[in-house]
Amino acid sequence: MGHLCLLGGKINFIPNEDAVSMIMTMGFTRVQSIRALQATDNNVERAVDWIFSRQTEMDSEDTQGAAVEPTFRDGESSE
């Protein structure tokens, strides 16, 4: 069973945990997954389309206030 959530102003939304897991296996975050499922009434296919249509917007929201992670490279460094 899902948890009660309040994202984007909708009250009493309970995300389908199986759907959240399925979307997360596609490489999306839990927050992105829940936000998309909420916008599409727990419809996985529509939720993935919803994320793709807002990917730039969601990426910028996810990175606001986040620490910049170091970049790691394989092989020799040119520095």
Q: Residue 52 belongs to a domain with what CATH number?
A: 1.10.8.10
Assess if residue 12 is contained within a domain: yes
Flag whether 38 is in a domain: yes
Give the chain's domain count: 1
Does 73 map to a domain?
Answer: no
7 beta partners: 10
78 found inside a domain: no
Residue corresponding to tokens 């389309």: 49
DSSP 77: -
Tell me, yes or no, whether 47 lies in a domain: yes
Residue 26 lies in a domain: yes
Burial class, 43, CB count within 10 angstroms (exposed 0-12 / middle 13-18 / buried 19+): middle
Is residue 13 in a domain? yes
pTM of the model: 0.63
By residue range, what is the domain housing residue 15? 5-60
pLDDT in tens, 7-48: 555 568 999 999 999 999 999 999 999 999 999 999 999 999
Split at pLDDT 50, 70, 90, the class of 1 is very low
